[in-house]
Amino acid sequence: MKFVLYTHSLQSDWNHGNAHFLRGLLSELQSRGHETLALEPVDGWSRSNLLADQGTSALHRFAHDFPGLTSQSYGEGFDHGAALADADVVLVHEWTDPDLVAALGRLRRAGAPFTLLFHDTHHRGVSDEQAIADLRLADYDAVLAFGATLKERYERQGWGRQVFVWHEAADIRVFHPLPELQPEADLVWIGNWGDGERERELQEFLIEPATRLGLSGTVHGVRYPEPALGALARSPLAYRGWLANADVPRTFARHRMTVHVPRRPYVAALPGIPTIRMFEALACGIPLVSAPWDDAEGLFRGDRDYLRAADGEAMTRHLQALKADPELRRTIAASGLETIRRRHTCAHRVDELLAILALRGSAKVRAALATTEEAA
């Protein structure tokens, strides 16, 4: 089958974590014999900021790191109908322009044979409800929400016809342990500062514990304001800016431990949804300590796959214990890696997607799935 994804950007992961998951998803689909294409707006903010920040070499990295993935830009006058003429499944991300979301729905209503899915991996369903309410999803075959609480929000508000939970996951083609590399520093945090959504949390769960313990280490990410850069400069952690996602496993391998600091909207209103960085860190086999979040769906085994810190004091104790005890580091890392490989890879998500398509797919897609099943 041919899968077409409307994404904010496949090429750029500058402050755009969904690109990590989609790259793994497309790679997994291709490995199973499917054709894939990503369509992204020509003026997307992630790609524009990456070019301004890093230059064209960063886009060359995408082509080098993901040579099998195809991304095509669209702008004014682009013929979406022609681009989707041979598509079997069209997956439209939540950041897609609302007018285009509606236009794709009209194509489906007019008889386009592809299955049309809407994919939400953001907190706007609770933080900007009107933006989601204004989207025209009545003609979409299904909505894929990256957590049960977001699914419930869609169902309560009547957004979309049928909603399924579809979490993000780790692309283990990229994210895996590198045991041949030895740690050179204590702590690494990879993540973007955001819009003040975790400013207090990063101070309490990252900067202050590292300073108190004198931990060596590194911080990577973008959109760090001057006060944040100043706080890091006063800490033992070195700020190193943007990091290509494909370089993350090597960076994890050069450090003894990491932390997970979810954004406040997820903690407060969308329990059960970690950041994709947590899946990726555990897939790389690095021990992780998490700031508070409610694993309402039981994605992980708390205090086995990672350590939980209720506050900054607990974070400090856990980081101190991990630094001092190599065996504890090995045990936590091995448990987290096991859970990722057993439950949370892009291969698992493709299996889930195909199961959803068997239920909600168009006649064309259900016929293709039946043929594949018979051949197997």
Q: Which domains does the chain have, with CATH numbers?
A: 2-169+345-375 (3.40.50.2000), 185-343 (3.40.50.2000)
Q: Which helix (H) or strand (E) holds 142?
A: strand 142-145
Q: Give residue 325's region: left, alpha or beta (phi > 0; psi -120 to 50).
A: beta
- The DSSP code for 11 is S
Q: Which long-range contacts (CB under 8 A, 24 or more apart) does 48-54 make?
A: 49/12, 49/14, 49/15, 49/222, 50/12, 50/13, 50/14, 50/242, 53/14, 53/222, 53/241, 53/242, 54/14, 54/242
> In angstroms, rounded to a whole number, what is the distance separating the alpha carbons of residues 159 and 39?
24
Q: For tokens 């992780």, what's the residue?
A: 288
**What gap in Å lies between CA 60 and CA 89, rounded to an integer?**
28
**Ordered per-residue pLDDT tens for the chain, 376 residues:** 999 999 999 999 999 999 999 999 999 999 999 999 999 999 999 999 999 999 999 888 999 999 999 999 999 999 999 999 999 999 999 999 999 999 999 999 999 999 999 999 988 887 788 889 889 999 999 999 999 999 999 999 999 989 999 999 999 999 999 999 999 999 999 998 876 678 889 999 999 999 999 999 999 999 999 999 999 999 999 999 999 999 999 999 999 999 999 888 778 888 999 999 999 999 999 999 999 999 999 999 999 999 999 999 999 999 999 999 999 999 999 999 999 999 999 999 999 999 999 999 999 999 999 987 776 6
Rg (CA), the chain: 21
**3-class DSSP assignment, residue 49:** helix
115 forms beta bridges with: 89
Nearest residue to 181 (alpha-carbon basis) of 240, 244, 245, 255: 255
- Return d(Cα 249, Cα 25) in angstroms, integer: 18
Chain-centre distance for alpha carbon 204: 24
Torsional sign, CA 348, 350, 353, 354: negative
For residue 73, the cross-strand partners are: 40
The pTM of this model reads 0.96
Write the CA distances from 53 to 18, 23, 47, 207, integer angstroms. Answer: 19, 22, 10, 25
Helix or strand run (H / E) with residue 74:
strand 71-74
Helices within the chain (DSSP H only) = 18-31, 45-54, 57-65, 80-83, 98-109, 124-127, 129-133, 148-157, 199-202, 208-213, 226-233, 248-253, 264-269, 276-283, 312-324, 326-343, 346-360, 363-375
